[in-house]
Amino acid sequence: MKSKFYLTAAAVLYAAVIGSAYADKSAESDARAIADAKIGMAQAVTAAEQNVGGKAVHAEYERHKGQWTFDVKVVKDNKVMKVKVDPTSGKVISAVEDKDDHDAKDDKKDKAD
């Protein structure tokens, strides 16, 4: 019985160590990627807001299909737009309505209550 306990404890400890090592590696990769960006988050948000003509509510630096981009959510006229900004040039790559965003609908319901 004790051997099963120790074996289980060892497996959990091993998984925790491997998981944290992976998380550290991922954080290092993110840190290196953002260091290579020519513009900062504030500039990306400004570019996205100006492109859509709204207010940013969320921004992050993510990798999509091997390319790093600033992803900014901008709200205008009760629509949420997903805006991708190039981290090298600061230009908007794309701006599309985020039809999956349920927060805007929830916000309307909250105002009614």
**Cα distance between residue 49 and residue 47, in whole Å:** 6
Q: Which fold has domain 39-113?
A: Nuclear Transport Factor 2; Chain: A, (3.10.450)
The domain ranges of the chain are 1-36, 39-113
Task: Report the candidate in 29, 110, 101, 91 with the shortest Cα–Cα distance to residue 58.
Answer: 101
Regarding pTM above 0.75, the answer is no
Element spanning 27, H or E: helix 2-36
Q: What is the pLDDT of residue 42?
A: 96
pLDDT (tens place) for every residue of the chain, 113 residues total: 555 554 555 555 455 545 544 444 455 676 777 788 899 999 999 999 999 999 999 999 999 888 999 999 999 999 999 999 999 999 999 999 998 875 545 555 555 54
- Token duo for residue 51: 């492109």
